Amino acid sequence: MTTPAYARTAERLRDVKPSPIRAVFDRAHELEAAGEKIVHFEIGRPDFDTPAGIKQATAAALDAGAVHYGPNAGTPELRKAIADYLADRDGVRYAPDGGIVVTIGANEAVFLSIMAYCGPGDEVIIPVPAWAHYAECTRLAGAVPVPLPLDPDNGYALDAEALAAACTPRTRMIIVCTPNNPTGTIADRATLERVAEVVSGTDALVLADEIYAELVYDGAGRVSPAALPALADRTLTVGGLAKSHAMDGWRLGWLAGPPDLVRPALRIRQFTTVCPTTFLQAGAVHALRDSADECAAMRAEFAERRRIALDLLAGQDVLRAAPAAGAFYLYLRYPETYEPADKLVWRLLEEQHVAVVPGTAFAPADTHAFRVSYACDADDLRLGLTRIIDAFQES
């Protein structure tokens, strides 16, 4: 069927692909609606309820009439709470007035950053495997995503020499996600110092995605890129409450950085989403100031689930997991003698009723890898992984 001329989309959408994660998620829910029990490993969504104190603070704000437009950058109270939180967590001090924008989830912070600084002719280096939204936001900005393959045999660590080789005079931004989605790899200080050496003397900015910063296990050290003096002036930091505080549906995150870098992103926000929901921000203030115990309990549960998953995988020799020092994912590779992941994930969903995400959603070349989220209860985790392992043994 020929598309009528009036339905022609903008050129910027030509190469923007639908989310493969959402494709699996949507089919899983169709099966559930038909009465099937699905084990959800596909979506990065904590299964915990939002802590009660956060809900109560939000309800109180709603009852008090916090139902009108707020400042474009977010309420002063929440910006101050974010600044205090990041100073305590990372030792980085951001100006609440000018250096922080409260965003509608971390995704908006990524989008605003790329849109503010990248355009036609610019390149964005994305170490892969990586969250697909980086590349698609880059394309929406008219810029060019440049994938930088990471070596699984080196734990998917960022390689400074490879990064230097990928940089060109057109490089405008380098994305560093630590802990990483989907591998769970953490960039240590030595790695970030090498990144600083690579970008020194260039016009490249660093976009640091720290949405999983609170989810670190086994004493692994995590350093914020902005904490390095050599990177502080050129780093935009993304964070949020979805993963650490079980607030994914609340859609609240932040963009932090030097005011001169943050200001252009705020200008875009003024003409798009305008401001975050006002009464929800009261709950976020409580989350950052008074929910440490609840967050620690959730982190401990994630750590236990990680242990369960790794113990189960240790009993077989087909699937190999990335180090996974942080976040709540396992990125599993398997031999090329088996079917490609783009086919495997649909077979696992339709036959085993387990929803996972193919590696090609994170790196085009990862045809024999898939991501498992262990943000589900321990019983489902055991059930789903056992079904996956059995499926490989039966192949």
- The answer to whether the beta carbons of residues 262 and 255 sit under 8 Å apart is yes
Q: In angstroms, rounded to a whole number, what is the distance separating the alpha carbons of residues 328 and 331?
A: 10
Q: In angstroms, rounded to a whole number, what is the distance separating the alpha carbons of residues 1 and 243?
A: 43
Query: How many CA atoms within 13 Å lie on the side-chain side of 372?
Result: 30
Among 61, 50, 69, smallest CA distance to 276 is for: 69
Residue 80 has pLDDT above 90, yes or no: yes
- The answer to whether the beta carbons of residues 112 and 268 sit under 8 Å apart is yes
- pLDDT digits 0-9 by tens, 24-68: 999 999 999 999 999 999 988 999 999 999 999 999 999 999 999
- pLDDT digits 0-9 by tens, 202-222: 999 999 999 999 999 998 889
> Tell me, what's the pLDDT at 8?
86
Buried b (16+ CB within 10 A) or exposed e, 354-363: bbbbbbbbbb
Share of the chain above pLDDT 90, in %: 91
- The answer to whether the beta carbons of residues 381 and 308 sit under 8 Å apart is yes
The H-or-E segment that residue 290 falls in is: helix 278-290
- pLDDT digits 0-9 by tens, 145-189: 999 999 999 999 999 999 999 999 999 999 999 999 999 999 999
Residue 193 has pLDDT above 90, yes or no: yes
Judged by DSSP in three states, 149 sits in: strand
* Structural domains for the chain: 5-49+293-394 (3.90.1150.10), 52-290 (3.40.640.10)
